């Protein structure tokens, strides 16, 4: 019981840290190649560069990587950018997070992408979200988002997240918790943080760390009427529908985006929830 009570802290973390779902790591034995799934359905795992470099390729599907024995497809890294090289269609750089260096590549198709890489300069701390890939035998990260670090507490926070994610996976791998018991732990009412709804979202993510408007916005984006919108929901629509002043909506969007719970789509006005893709 010792370890399962520790595991109960997992939902609190997944809420605070954004769109992770470590329970997915229990599917590492799943023979279905996960590379076929869209990146949006994959959990975003906080890692150190050293973990990526030491990650092994999964035996059944060479496009998958195993970190702590779990398939890791999308990663979050925080480190310093170096060796930036701009080309017409992409920008490459190296992330050094103090544990190692890993090559990164960001495709630049649109003006908004260009703007994102313009802010990138050697020696600045950035948070990157990307997809782990092997290219000519070298592991690299195909980056979807680069955000400059402005609050430097994020660095300590990121490494604590890495440790936490590692601990969760390590515990699952050692079989102390079987997938079945972990899911029952997650939904157990004794974990006072959980809302007793059948909504899958509230079981996987803990929204208690969010304020009310954040919750309204994420719930709005979770609605089927929102998720069917290919390009996401315009922020004006969110404000009008929720009858909340735009300033509050913008605040909520900023905070949800930084938590990794939502992301901007075609432009900075349209948003989608990371959990629904």
| Nearest distance in Å: CB 98, another protein | 4
Q: Is 112 in the site for another protein (CB under 8 A)?
A: no
Binding track, positions 19-48, relative to another protein; x by CB under 8 A: -----------------------------x
Contact with another protein (CB under 8 A) among 32, 85, 112, 156: 156
| Nearest distance in Å: CB 55, another protein | 11
Site for another protein in 78-97 (CB under 8 A): 80
Label the pairing between strands 74-86 and 44-46.
parallel
Q: Is 157 in the site for another protein (CB under 8 A)?
A: yes
Site for another protein in 158-197 (CB under 8 A): 159-160, 162-163, 166
Q: Which is nearer to another protein, 46 or 232 (CB)?
A: 46
| Nearest distance in Å: CB 46, another protein | 11
- Residues forming contacts to another protein in the complex (CB under 8 A) are 48-51, 53-54, 80, 98-103, 123, 125, 138-139, 151-153, 155-157, 159-160, 162-163, 166
């Amino acid at each position: 019981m010792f370890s399962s009570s520790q595991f109960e802290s997992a939902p609190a973390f997944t809420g605070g840290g954004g769109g992770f779902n470590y329970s997915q790591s229990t599917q590492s034995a799943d023979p279905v190649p996960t590379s076929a799934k869209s990146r949006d359905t994959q959990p975003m795992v906080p890692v150190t560069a050293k973990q990526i470099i030491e990650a092994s390729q999964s035996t059944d599907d060479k496009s998958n990587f195993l970190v702590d024995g779990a398939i890791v497809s999308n990663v979050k890294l925080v480190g310093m950018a170096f060796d930036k090289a701009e080309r017409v269609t992409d920008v490459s750089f190296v992330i050094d997070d103090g544990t190692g260096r890993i090559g990164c590549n960001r495709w630049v198709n649109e003006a908004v992408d260009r703007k994102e890489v313009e802010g990138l300069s050697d020696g600045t701390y950035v948070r990157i979200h990307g997809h782990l890939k092997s290219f000519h035998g070298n592991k690299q990260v195909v980056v979807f988002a680069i955000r400059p670090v402005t609050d430097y507490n994020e660095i300590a926070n990121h490494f604590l997240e890495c440790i936490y994610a590692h601990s969760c996976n390590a515990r699952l791998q050692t079989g102390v918790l079987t997938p079945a018991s972990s899911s029952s732990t997650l939904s157990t009412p004794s974990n006072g943080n959980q809302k007793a709804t059948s909504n899958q979202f509230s079981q996987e993510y803990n929204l208690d760390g969010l304020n009310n408007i954040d919750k309204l916005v994420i719930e709005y984006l979770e609605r089927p009427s929102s998720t069917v919108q290919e390009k996401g929901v315009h922020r004006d629509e969110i404000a009008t529908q929720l009858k909340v002043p735009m300033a509050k909506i913008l605040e909520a969007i900023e905070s949800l985006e930084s938590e990794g719970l939502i992301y901007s789509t075609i432009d900075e006005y349209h948003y989608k929830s990371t959990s629904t893709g």
